[in-house]
């Protein structure tokens, strides 16, 4: 999302170009598989825009290959069918997988605030992946995102290690991955808030995959985060806030922009943070600058080893 690339002198795909991508995938495969096994994850990045002539990301989700391509505007106008075919060919050659196990999506540049990837397949491709002993349902076809942001893996592990006995709050929770790590880490209570019914239901399925269920001590709330955090009077020991770059949902009744609104949001969260508590704030807006009046304890080194591109930034606040 929001990645930038300089225009290469040679345009993207030639007939033999798939071999170059296939060779790089073969080179990356064995060491990355060995690393992932040692790390305890079954969803990981194999190729992260390594070569300028191939601006694609390639991830393995329990052996199913998920690709996002970032074509130039001229390619988009000409159509992307040939690009998809080249990527599938490269993945089958380089990774030894069947073509039916390669899912290719096209990331089209959008104006600020425009819609996201629309489902283009009649049947969802669901897989279950593991991350440090936790299980997650991933949907590889219906949306551009899969239900698990792999680049947040390091911070999720950290949250899990700090959650024991804590009152945990997860805002803009998406499918509840941070909450799942907190639950598995022994959190005393968890509160998971997201505006989407789809994502709240998905979070509850992730709970069930790991033997947990929502209830009075582990709430999953479908609500407007901005209104909720303004009116909530709970106290929390550990908070994660990972807002979108923007949101203009009609359900919210207002427009959210992370650069403009993050200071207000962080201050509201700090109001709810217990003395001695920790707040993690992250976002993936490329031009983001933290408000100078805010005083985080540190900016974390939160990028996983399998990522070359820096997709997000994350800060730790303490009270």
Give the per-residue pLDDT at 80: 85
Q: What is the pLDDT of residue 294?
A: 98
The Cα–Cα gap between 7 and 20 comes to 19
CB of 269 within 8 A of CB of 241?
A: yes
pLDDT tens digits along 48-94 = 999 999 999 999 999 999 999 998 777 777 778 999 999 999 999 99
Q: If pLDDT is split at 50, 70 and 90, which confidence band does 212 have?
A: very high
pLDDT over 60 at 307, yes or no: yes
* Residue 47, pLDDT above cutoff 80: yes
Q: What pLDDT digit, counting tens, does each position of 256-294 carry?
A: 999 999 999 999 999 999 999 999 999 999 999 999 999
pLDDT at 241: 98
Share of the chain above pLDDT 70, in %: 89
* Average confidence (pLDDT) over 129-140: 98
**Mean pLDDT, the chain, as a whole number?**
91
pTM of this structure: 0.91
CB 24 within 8 A of CB 51: yes
Asked whether 129 and 45 are in contact (CB, 8 A), the reply is: no
- Which two tokens mark 237? 């020991």
pLDDT at 184 over 60: yes
- Segment 178-192 shows an average pLDDT of 98
Q: Give which of 65, 57, 62 is closest to 37, Cα–Cα.
A: 62
Rounded Cα–Cα distance for residues 197 and 164 (Å): 28
pLDDT at 265 (0 to 100): 97
pLDDT at position 248 is 72
The maximal CA–CA distance of the chain, rounded, in angstroms, is 61
Domains, the chain, ranges and CATH? 17-114 (3.30.750.80), 149-318 (3.40.50.150)
Task: Quote the percentage of the chain above a pLDDT of 90.
Answer: 82
Kindly tell me the burial class for residue 188, based on how many C-beta atoms sit within 10 Å of its own C-beta (0-12, 13-18, 19 or more): middle
Task: Check if the beta carbon of residue 141 is closer than 8 Å to that of residue 121.
Answer: yes
Tokens representing residue 141 in the block? 């076809």
Cα dist from 48 to 153, 154, 266, 311, whole Å: 16, 17, 31, 11
pLDDT in tens, 14-30: 445 799 999 999 999 99
**Mean pLDDT lowest among 4-18, 231-245, 275-289:** 4-18
Give pLDDT, residue 5. Answer: 38
117-131, 142-156, 225-239: range with lowest mean pLDDT: 117-131
In the prediction, which pLDDT does 118 show? 52
According to the model, what pLDDT value does residue 245 have? 94
Q: How many CA atoms lie within 13 A of 27 on its CB side?
A: 8
């Amino acid at each position: 999302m929001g990645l930038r690339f300089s225009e290469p002198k040679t345009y993207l795909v030639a007939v033999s170009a798939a071999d170059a991508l296939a060779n790089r995938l073969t080179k990356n495969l064995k060491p990355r598989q060995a690393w992932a096994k040692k790390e305890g994850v079954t969803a990981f990045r194999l190729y992260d825009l390594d070569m300028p002539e191939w601006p694609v990301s390639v991830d393995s989700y329990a052996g199913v290959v998920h690709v996002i391509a970032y074509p130039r505007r001229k390619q988009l106008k000409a159509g992307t069918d040939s690009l998809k075919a080249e990527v599938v060919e490269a993945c089958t050659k380089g990774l030894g997988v069947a073509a039916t196990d390669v899912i290719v999506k096209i990331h089209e540049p959008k104006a600020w605030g425009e819609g996201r990837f629309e489902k283009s397949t009649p049947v969802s491709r669901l897989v279950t992946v593991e991350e440090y002993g936790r299980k997650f349902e991933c949907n590889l076809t219906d949306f551009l995102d899969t239900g698990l942001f792999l680049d947040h893996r390091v911070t999720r592990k950290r949250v899990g290690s700090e959650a024991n006995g804590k009152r945990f709050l997860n805002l803009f929770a998406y499918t509840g991955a941070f909450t799942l790590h907190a639950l598995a880490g022994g959190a005393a209570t968890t509160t998971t808030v997201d505006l989407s019914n789809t994502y709240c239901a998905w979070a509850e399925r992730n709970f069930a995959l790991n033997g947990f269920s929502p209830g009075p001590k582990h709430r999953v709330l479908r609500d407007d985060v901005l209104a909720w955090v303004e009116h909530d009077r709970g106290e929390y020991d550990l908070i994660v806030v990972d807002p979108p770059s923007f949101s203009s949902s009609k359900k919210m009744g207002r427009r959210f922009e992370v650069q403009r609104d993050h200071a207000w949001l962080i201050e509201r969260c700090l109001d709810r943070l217990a003395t001695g508590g920790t707040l993690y704030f992250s976002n993936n807006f490329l031009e983001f600058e933290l408000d100078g009046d805010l005083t985080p304890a540190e900016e974390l080194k939160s990028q996983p080893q399998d990522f070359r591109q820096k997709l997000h930034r994350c800060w730790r606040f303490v009270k």
